[in-house]
Amino acid sequence: MNIIKIQTSNKYTKKLISVFFIITAMQLGGCANLGVQPWERDLLAKDEMALNADAIDIGLDEHIYFSKEGTSGGRSFAGGGCGCN
């Protein structure tokens, strides 16, 4: 009885895994539909659209928050770095 149960649950797990893979594959396929053609990058190519625009400001802010709050990192490596009080 137990063996049947395990086999059934294994079946379900396998089904779940394949469903998960199908969804992931569809998502990745979806990524192919997202995005732009190279000649549509006029706005994305602007300096202010870069993810690290204001890199100097971000670096200075992260140093402040690193030394004043309990959490750091996320955007890039959290690292160690200073004995700031």
Partner 1 sequence: MQLSKSKKITALLATATCTLLNAGAQAQETKSENDWQFDTAILYYGETDRVSLLEGVISATKDFGDQRVLNTKLVIDTLTGASATGAVSQPYAQTFSRPSGDGQYTTSPNELPLDDTFKDTRVQLSANWTQPIYKDTRVNLGGNISREYDYLSVGTSVSAESDFYNKNTTALFGLSYQFDSIDPVGGRPIGLSTMVVNNGQFGAGDAGDAGDAGEDAFEAAFDQTRITDTDDKSTVDALFGLTQVINRRMLVQLNYSYSTSSGYLNDPYKLLSLVNTNGETQSVLHENRPDSRAKHSVFAQTKYAFDNAVADVSYRFATDDWEITSHTIDSKLRYNLSESDYIQPHFRYYQQSEADFYRPYLDNTDALPIFASADYRLGEMTAITVGLKYGHKMNNGHEWGVRAEYYQQDPKNAGFENIGVLASQDLYPSVKAFILQFSYSF
Question: Which residue ranges make up the site for partner 1 (CB under 8 A)?
Answer: 31-32, 34-44, 46, 48-49, 51, 53-57, 59-60, 63-65, 68-71, 73-85
Q: Please, which residue, 5 or 77, has the CB nearer to partner 1?
A: 77
Shortest CB 39 distance to partner 1, Å: 5
Per-residue DSSP letter, 38: G
CB crowding 29-59: b at 16 or more within 10 Å, else e: eeeeeeeeeeeeeeeeeeeeeeeeeeeeeee
Shortest CB 62 distance to partner 1, Å: 11
